[in-house]
Structure 1
Amino acid sequence: MARKENHLLTAWIVALIATLGSLYFSEIMKFIPCELCWYQRIFMYPQVFLLGMAFVRKDFKIARYTLMLSIIGGTISSYHYLIQKITFFRDTAPSCGIVPCTGQYINWFGFMTIPFLALIAFISISIISYRLIKMEKEGKDE
């Protein structure tokens, strides 16, 4: 398998794990997603299908779209994480709806919350997408 194909497959696996993890937390653990969690889902879930189809069709141009989706989703995740962890942001955060966005269903190692996990996935997909775009421009497929 070529390097660009490996990148697409890796990005798809990251998106799939993030999506399945999100569904596990909401459907099995019964954690009710807040409004910001829903927005993050809006930017993650389509990437499973986009990256999966791109891998099957060897369409490396999808990276432009996944990069934008991941940057927007990562920005939302960053803000969500900040309002969970930083008092200044928590105090100035608007009400998020029925489920407060400041709530932390999980807090592994004192810093790993659900928005943090989403942020890591968005950053990973962004880096992979950027590398794919760069490889496509340079005409590489090492």
Structure 2
Amino acid sequence: MSTRTVDLEEPADVAPDAPARHLAPLYAAWVVALVATLGALFVGEVMGQAPCVLCWYQRIAMFPLAVVLGIAAFRGDRGVRVYALPLAIAGLAVAAFHALLYAGIVSEAIEPCGAGPSCASADMTIFGGLPLPYLSVSAFAAITLLLVRRFDRKRA
């Protein structure tokens, strides 16, 4: 008869026997968050584009996701959805509003920007015309979908 010891440092939802392919969406979500975080830092610090108010709110959601998803991916933490999905959804909501404002669909009268760069400025582009608000929506949507996909499957 074999007995299994439990490591007290290991979270309850960690599945050490889970195949690596089951963690692929989690790793992919982490890579998206990491690339988005590094991209935001590059645009702000290297290119010198000051972030608008809505960009700051999106950073508040994205930067922790890069850390949280990275730790969860390497630990195989199946409980990551509880604390990562709310951040991803909140960031997606702000990014969607920002994209609508940038596209001119949302009225300038309810623009949340005060001092600082305009949230709908034409210079909010990178790589020859890709609007930053649209890239942000794409990143948050991808992370949200990967987290939902990751946990829609039955546990092994």
Normalising by structure 1, report the TM-score: 0.87
**Aligned residue pairs: how many?**
137
**Counterpart-to-counterpart distance in 1, 2:25 and 2:49:** 32
Unaligned regions of 5+ residues in structure 2, if any?
A: 1-18
Equivalent residue number for residue 81 of structure 1: 99
Among 70, 82, 93, which residue is 2:88 paired with? 70
Structure 1 residue 139 and structure 2 residue 155: aligned?
Answer: yes
- Aligned residues: CA RMSD: 1.9
3-state SS, counterpart of residue 125 of structure 2: coil
- Shift in Å, 1:61: 1.3
Q: 2:33 aligns with which of 15, 33, 57?
A: 15
Tell me whether 74-83 or 90-99 shows the greater mean CA deviation. 90-99
Q: How does 1:53-68 map to 2 (within 5 A)?
A: 53-68=71-86
One-letter amino acid matched to 1:78: A
Higher alpha-carbon Rg? 2
Query: Do the aligned partners of 2:23 and 2:76 also contact (CA within 8 Å) in 1?
Result: yes
Q: What residue identity is the alignment partner of 2:125?
A: I
- Aligned ranges for residues 96-111 of structure 1 at < 5 Å? 96-104=114-122, 105-106=124-125
| 1:60 counterpart SS class | coil
* Contact 1:36–1:96 (8 Å) recurs in 2: no
Does the CA-based 8 Å contact 1:43-1:70 persist in structure 2?
yes
Q: 1:95 to 1:16 in 2, by over 3 A?
A: closer
Q: Which of the pair has the greater relative contact order for Cα pairs under 8 Å at 6+ separation?
A: 1
CA change 1:131–1:83 in 2 (3 A) is same
Is the contact between residue 54 and residue 60 of structure 1 (CA under 8 Å) also seen in structure 2? yes
Distance 1:41 1:48 in 2: 11
Number of the residue aligned with 1:44: 62
Letter in 1 for 2:143: I
Matching residue's letter, 2:61: F
**Distance (whole Å) between structure 1 residues aligned to residue 103 and residue 111 of structure 2:** 12
* Same amino acid, percent of matched pairs: 34
More helix by share: 1
